[in-house]
Structure 1
Amino acid sequence: MRHSILLPVNATRPEQVIPFANLVRWGGAARLWQGQGLVLESHQIVNWLAGAGIRVSAGFGVSLMPYRSPYNAAVEARSVALATGHEVVAGYGPGSLAAQTCAMGRPYAGQLTACREYLTIVRDLLDGGISDREGEYFSAKAQLLPFHRPEVSLGLGVLRERMAGLAGELADTAITWLASAAYLEEVLIPALRGAKERRPEEPAKVVAYVPVALAGPDRDREKLLRATVGGHIQFPHYQAALRRAGIRITGDGGADDVRALVDGGIFLHGTAEEIHQRLDAYRAIGVDEVVLNVTGVAAVHGPRAAASDLYELLKAAP
């Protein structure tokens, strides 16, 4: 199982990303992951790093579909692969209903249908062919300027079993978030592996984002957890996925939520060795890559502390 890192800051200057990219170059991390860029656009950050001579493997998990057409998504993913010379995992997801409404005026009526159409068109384009499809949400009659096929793996963000089944059918990688090892083993991975259209010799890989923080005398676990996942656990679709895993929360990030998320294996807090002992559960069930998420440490204690936590965790990795 590989250990990667999530960029833990919303960078406002690309130079702020360099210490974290260097953890991929020299610190033992397999890949630098980013979510949807909120200030600087995520793909542009990686291309800037490549232009500065820092070429690292990148993952995007997830880029929100309402913010880019499938054609633009394919161009962005190919651009990063060509600029870096490394494999790119280009992960997409529909986002929350609120994000869909903000970007498009209304949400997708069929989330799975929208994801299916989107990924199929992006796959067509990255494979070098003409995508000639008429869909309910996404249509295309287009082809990228011919060039050699880039090293891009398509990912799909997964919270619940129906999306996991779709990822197993269409994607190269299922990207999970706020999913404990137990929930992956009992719910998501069986749905992923049970996809009927997938060739069994090429199963989709599993990437798990795992919120973590090292313990210390100045570390407030409740504050760190709220800063890491507090925004997400307010959304109904995340709460529904957590309930499916047997974890009931209010969404306010209070002491009861903290206890439930820690006890449920969602947020890992302790020494580097203790955290890796908990991560062994992901290895045991066949997760291919864990993405260490220390955004809470960065928010509460600053980017330098976040980089230090990541370095210690990577150094302690088995």
Structure 2
Amino acid sequence: MTAYSVLIPFVPRRPEQVLPYAALVQWTGARRLWQGQSLILEPHQTFAHVAGAGFRVPVGLGVTLMPLRHPYEAALQARSLAMLTGQPVVAGYGPGGTSLQRSLLGSPYRSPLTAAREYLGVVRGLLTGASEEEVAAAGGEYFSCHGRLAPYPAPQVELGLGVLRPGMARVAGELADVAITWLASADYLAEQIMPALREGAATAGRPVPRVAAMVPLALTRPEREPAELALASNAAHLQAPHYQDMLRRSGIEARDEEPLARAKALVDGDAFLSGDLDALTEKLARYERAGVDEVVLNLTGVANLFGPQAAMAELKTLLAALGVS
């Protein structure tokens, strides 16, 4: 049965802004509290504050960007977060766009797939207590690490990998515990991503990773235009070539020069879900039928246009309708 989780629907400026969402996870049947990459409050530190405030809930990083930290630092931060919260952590990683890679590294990864494979291999070796030689062997062209984390008991850290297209899905199948998707319709997941995950897992002789789908959505209301909500939720993604390519593969042409037309394509293609409670419940059920294990409710568009209180009220309404209140 698919679990439902909560995404913090804004970039926090103060850690106390996150506490109501942590409380929502603690006091309902929601599985986990998620945050994507932030360049204002660093997500590991935000979640550490939440734990210190008394809300020790399972958390997910979906995703942090590989160019920002060496794999050793990534493993140390993820394990530290598990120890601070006393809860399992999904530590998701992704290579980011080529412009970010060039800005921070001097040049983009020649092969993001190879970079992701090496990164996850080193992080996993560190977290599982592999020998220094085994950790070093997991690196290669992009990452090297000759060392180990000091052994100490901690709750489980699961490795996540951001997945947009089948190539990265195969890498996730080989190495990740959780494949994390964003803006992917249920049909696209069923038809292209799930088969690639199974292929990668079969190649590595391991179980197929769980799938956590970040799903942007909003209830229809008289004062709302779905395309405006979709744009408020995903304006930056719609400009990124790797997202445009993923959407094209899923049958959604979101390359129109007019931003609102791009956003309308998301709504028409069910990459952004819109409808009344019954319609949204049915659209979300498609993700379960596609094989998704965890749907992360993303109300960013509502928060950006109508404020965090509106997003919180809508989250409560959706969780109740989904039977996880």
Name the SS of the counterpart of 2:179 in structure 1. Answer: strand
Distance in 2 between residues matched to 1:211 and 1:253, nearest whole Å: 20
Distance in 1 between residues matched to 2:155 and 2:258, nearest whole Å: 42
Q: What amino acid sits opposite 1:198 in the alignment?
A: A
Residues 214-223 or 261-270, more deviating: 214-223
CA RMSD of aligned residues (A): 1.3
Cα deviations by residue, 1:11-52 (Å, 9 ceiling, x for unpaired): 111000011111101133110011112210001111111111
Matched, 1:141 2:142: no
Distance in 2 between residues matched to 1:171 and 1:15, nearest whole Å: 32
1:202-281 aligned within 5 A? 202-250=207-255, 252=257, 254-281=259-286
Residues 121-130 or 215-224, more deviating: 215-224
State the partner residue of 1:55: 56
2:136 equivalent among 109, 132, 135: 132
TM-score computed with the length of structure 1 as normaliser: 0.96
2:177 equivalent among 149, 172, 175: 172
1:269-308 aligned within 5 A? 269-308=274-313
Listed as ranges, the gaps of 5+ residues in structure 1 are none
Distance in 1 between residues matched to 2:266 and 2:27, nearest whole Å: 32
Q: What amino acid sits opposite 2:136 in the alignment?
A: D
User: Contact 2:238/2:262 (CA < 8 Å) preserved in 1?
Assistant: no
Matched, 1:79 2:80: yes
User: Contact 1:224/1:300 (CA < 8 Å) preserved in 2?
Assistant: yes
Cα distance change, pair 187–199 in 1 and its aligned pair in 2 (3 A):
same
Cα distance change, pair 89–252 in 1 and its aligned pair in 2 (3 A):
farther
State the partner residue of 1:100: 101
State the partner residue of 1:65: 66
State the partner residue of 2:187: 182
Cα deviations by residue, 1:194-246 (Å, 9 ceiling, x for unpaired): 1133335x221011110001121222222211110111011111111111111
Cα deviations by residue, 1:70-124 (Å, 9 ceiling, x for unpaired): 0010011101111111111001000000111111121111111100110000000
State the partner residue of 1:197: 203
TM-score computed with the length of structure 2 as normaliser: 0.94
Between the aligned residues of both structures, percent identity stands at: 51
Name the SS of the counterpart of 1:11 in structure 2. Answer: coil
- Counting matched residue pairs gives 317
Listed as ranges, the gaps of 5+ residues in structure 2 are none
Name the SS of the counterpart of 1:266 in structure 2. Answer: coil
Cα distance change, pair 247–79 in 1 and its aligned pair in 2 (3 A):
same
User: Contact 2:230/2:267 (CA < 8 Å) preserved in 1?
Assistant: no
Name the SS of the counterpart of 2:45 in structure 1. Answer: helix
User: Cα distance, 1:252 vs. partner?
Assistant: 4.6
Residues 255-264 or 151-160, more deviating: 255-264
Name the SS of the counterpart of 2:204 in structure 1. Answer: coil
Distance in 1 between residues matched to 2:3 and 2:198, nearest whole Å: 20
State the partner residue of 1:317: 322
